[in-house]
A = this chain, B = another copy of it.
Amino acid sequence: MYKATIFVTLKESVLDPQGVAVKGTLHTMGYTEVSDVRIGKRLEVSLEAANQEEAEVAVTAMCQKLFSNPVIENFRFDLEEV
Chain A interface residues toward B at CB < 8 A: 1, 7-9, 22, 25-26, 29, 31, 33-49, 58, 61-62, 65-66
Contact = CB atoms under 8 A, between A and B. Distances in A.
Query: What's the number of copies of this chain in the assembled complex?
Result: 2
22 contacts: A1-B35, A7-B42, A26-B62, A26-B66, A29-B62, A31-B47, A31-B61, A31-B62, A33-B48, A34-B46, A34-B62, A35-B46, A35-B47, A35-B48, A36-B45, A36-B46, A37-B43, A37-B46, A38-B44, A40-B44, A41-B42, A42-B42
Given A8-B42, A9-B44, A26-B45, 11 more contacts: A29-B65, A33-B48, A33-B49, A34-B46, A37-B43, A37-B44, A38-B43, A40-B41, A40-B42, A40-B43, A42-B42
